[in-house]
Structure 1
């Protein structure tokens, strides 16, 4: 039987299989304050109108416009002020002809009033006020339902909830929303050579970094990450570490232990248990694993830091966003000119780290193609994507970019 690790899958084919494996997350009702970045699973209908009552758009005086006709600085109209109406007052007294009520911004308009004279056009009187200019009917008023009418759909299914949307539903008095819930992701970093930051390194040891990238990348898109670090290269230990956490998570992401050599603990523990290990036609990041372990989706990424990061960007990030109900799941793409010539292996889609300069519309490669060059990745704002059938990019040729930041 051929070794499954020698099989080669296209990037697009493997990306589709990862998306199908992760699937859709369930819909839940969450408090509005917990919904930032999540996606609505139902339309939202306004339970009230906005504004819910006629109110003043200015600090000033509620009047009948006919009572201030002809008012000017030379011949002001003087009116008694029997009532004050601050914002929040609920026992509003009707306005009688020939009078005015001092009113604050947002306060309910008294019955009988048809306009508001802003305070700057008066002498700011308390018991009596002099008005120095006429006003037309409707001046400085906010009418009931001017923004939203009760019963209308204000947000549609599929809307991504940001501050403006959450502010709207809060203004409508809605306490909870139906949303696709956040993915709970278990991040498992394996390797006896790994050491926690802050501890001294012995010969042959390295600091563990993959879980930091994966966990923060999960949280950046709205997921919840739980990290298990420093799982030793032991099959039984890995299975024992996984077992108590399976019921509480939606996806497991492992890094390391997936290649074709010896001591590949993730592959040894999960192959034959529902997880397939294979190679994808990309560089870096060829070795991959995916499947279900005891019913839970597992995505096994390579251990080299850049390979793990690129695998997350190309395969895992879009699958998690789609599972959350997002329709825009891909990074922004641009075209630019290559600042220098590049080579790429035949039959592999290569992702080179790069810096996009908007002024010159150029892509400048940062570092080489090696999967260990993490500093180059940190200094980049894009990936330069070289297709599988291209082995050489001349200087000045157009290339496709996958934007990592908006810098």
Structure 2
């Protein structure tokens, strides 16, 4: 393989050589961000699950006139069982269940109150300001397709359907190995010749943005035997091993030699980019 490849070619090779998982798991919604839905999701209820007021105002049983007798009140969360005769109304609030016998909702700005009666200014149109049952989605219809990446809005939608767990594809297990005698942890005083290690936290948060929340971090000094030992362990334990440092051509860069000794197949090494030209990607021959 030629020494240097383009970034786009490197990405294509990664995608070509990575095995797609088929393992699934059932997880709670509060842990679902960034996961991929493993099955088509059907709505167990309609949304809204009842006829719902879109305004603060009055629900009416319309008759041929603009005056109505107010017989009650319905606020959000109330079970609406009032039966309205023609010419009757109930005070109603946004999100509340509209009585079955009501056929329109008038916003409160168009209402004048006269004791227990109201009058409506303007033309009354049937069906106004009422969200029909199932306006957003009907019960037993497709809510989300398999393969959808779950973000905050899709998770909120699923929660509105009353679901608390969903099937998703299992995220890969990942370990980050940081190499180098020169590295010190943040919060510690630097000794001469040391720098603070920053790649692990950067990579860990990049993985978190993809919904990979469980990531281990290991530290390895510039020692060939230790590097080979740790790599052998992680390659057997994790789906992906990310290594920071130790892959160039210096006398104390041992990662490439250790991977070769462990039988890792090199897919590419060195990419046309600065910084980060000595970028290595490999895979096990049996995967």
CA displacement, residues 265-321 of structure 1 (integer Å, 9 cap, x when unaligned):
2233332212245633524334344434698x8xxxxxxxxxxxxxxxxxxxxxxxx
SS in structure 2 of the partner of residue 62 of structure 1: strand
- What TM-score do you get using the length of structure 2 for normalisation? 0.83
1:22 aligned onto 2:10: no
For residue 35 of structure 1, what is the aligned residue in structure 2?
A: 32
CA displacement, residues 343-389 of structure 1 (integer Å, 9 cap, x when unaligned):
xxxxxxxxxxxxxxxxxxxxxxxxxxxxxxxxxxxxxxxxxxxxxxx
For residue 372 of structure 1, what is the aligned residue in structure 2?
A: none
The separation in 2 between residues aligned to 1:276 and 1:287, in whole angstroms, is: 16
- 1:130-145 to 2 correspondence within 5 Å? 130-133=118-121, 134-145=123-134
The separation in 2 between residues aligned to 1:42 and 1:88, in whole angstroms, is: 32
SS in structure 2 of the partner of residue 179 of structure 1: strand
Judge conservation of contact 1:87–1:105 (CA < 8 Å) in 2: yes
**CA spacing shift, 1:95–1:249, aligned 2, 3 Å:** farther
Match of 2:117 among 129, 134, 148: 129
**CA spacing shift, 1:247–1:177, aligned 2, 3 Å:** farther
- What TM-score do you get using the length of structure 1 for normalisation? 0.60
The separation in 2 between residues aligned to 1:35 and 1:87, in whole angstroms, is: 29
Match of 1:282 among 243, 265, 272: 272
Judge conservation of contact 1:41–1:158 (CA < 8 Å) in 2: yes
CA displacement, residues 27-60 of structure 1 (integer Å, 9 cap, x when unaligned):
3332223222333232222222222111222222
**CA spacing shift, 1:273–1:246, aligned 2, 3 Å:** closer
For residue 141 of structure 2, what is the aligned residue in structure 1?
A: 152
SS in structure 2 of the partner of residue 287 of structure 1: coil
**CA spacing shift, 1:84–1:191, aligned 2, 3 Å:** same
Match of 2:193 among 192, 204, 214: 204
The separation in 2 between residues aligned to 1:96 and 1:110, in whole angstroms, is: 11
Q: How many residues align?
A: 281
Judge conservation of contact 1:38–1:160 (CA < 8 Å) in 2: yes
Q: Which runs of 5+ in 1 are unaligned?
A: 1-5, 72-76, 298-407
- 1:368-383 to 2 correspondence within 5 Å? none
For residue 302 of structure 1, what is the aligned residue in structure 2?
A: none
**CA spacing shift, 1:103–1:291, aligned 2, 3 Å:** same
1:243 deviates by: 6.0
For residue 3 of structure 2, what is the aligned residue in structure 1?
A: 8
**CA spacing shift, 1:48–1:275, aligned 2, 3 Å:** same
Match of 1:254 among 226, 233, 243: 243
Match of 2:93 among 93, 104, 109: 104
The separation in 2 between residues aligned to 1:281 and 1:78, in whole angstroms, is: 77
Judge conservation of contact 1:276–1:289 (CA < 8 Å) in 2: no
1:114 aligned onto 2:109: no
For residue 65 of structure 1, what is the aligned residue in structure 2?
A: 62
Question: After the TM superposition, which of the residue ranges 197-206 and 153-162 deviates more from structure 2?
Answer: 197-206
1:254 deviates by: 0.7
Superposed CA RMSD in Å reads 3.0
Highest RCO, 1 vs 2 (Cα 8 Å, sep ≥ 6):
2
Match of 1:92 among 48, 65, 81: 81
Question: After the TM superposition, which of the residue ranges 240-249 and 14-23 deviates more from structure 2?
Answer: 240-249
Question: After the TM superposition, which of the residue ranges 23-32 and 136-145 deviates more from structure 2?
Answer: 23-32
